[in-house]
């Protein structure tokens, strides 16, 4: 059965793969892995925020350059 990307089933499978890492049966290892998963999730969020912050800086620069070339009488 094909699962369409972006559906709940897609994310269920992705999360299942991650959660499997926390089910080794070794409490210390599982606890450490759970913490690493949460830290990794936070790092991914931060990375994406940085990416989008840089993108908006680029768009603002592009827009500023556009405005410098635009005739004041243009709407």
Whole-number Å distance between alpha carbons of 21 and 32: 10
Reference 21, options 9, 38, 44; nearest CA is 38
Is 20 a residue whose pLDDT tops 70? yes
Its pTM surpasses 0.85: no
Q: Alpha-carbon distance 70 to 30, whole Å?
A: 59
d(CA 30, CA 19) in angstroms, rounded, equals: 10
User: Would you kindly state where each structural domain of the chain is located, as residue ranges?
Assistant: 8-69
pLDDT tens per residue across span 1-13: 577 999 999 999 9
* DSSP state, residue 4: -
The DSSP code for 53 is H
């Amino acid at each position: 059965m094909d699962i369409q990307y972006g559906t709940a089933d897609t994310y269920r499978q992705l999360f299942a793969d991650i959660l499997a890492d926390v089910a080794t049966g070794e409490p210390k290892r599982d606890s450490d892995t759970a913490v690493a998963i949460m830290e990794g999730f936070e790092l991914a969020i931060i990375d994406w925020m940085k990416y989008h912050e840089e993108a908006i800086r680029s768009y603002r620069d592009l827009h500023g350059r556009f405005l410098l070339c635009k005739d004041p009488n243009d709407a």
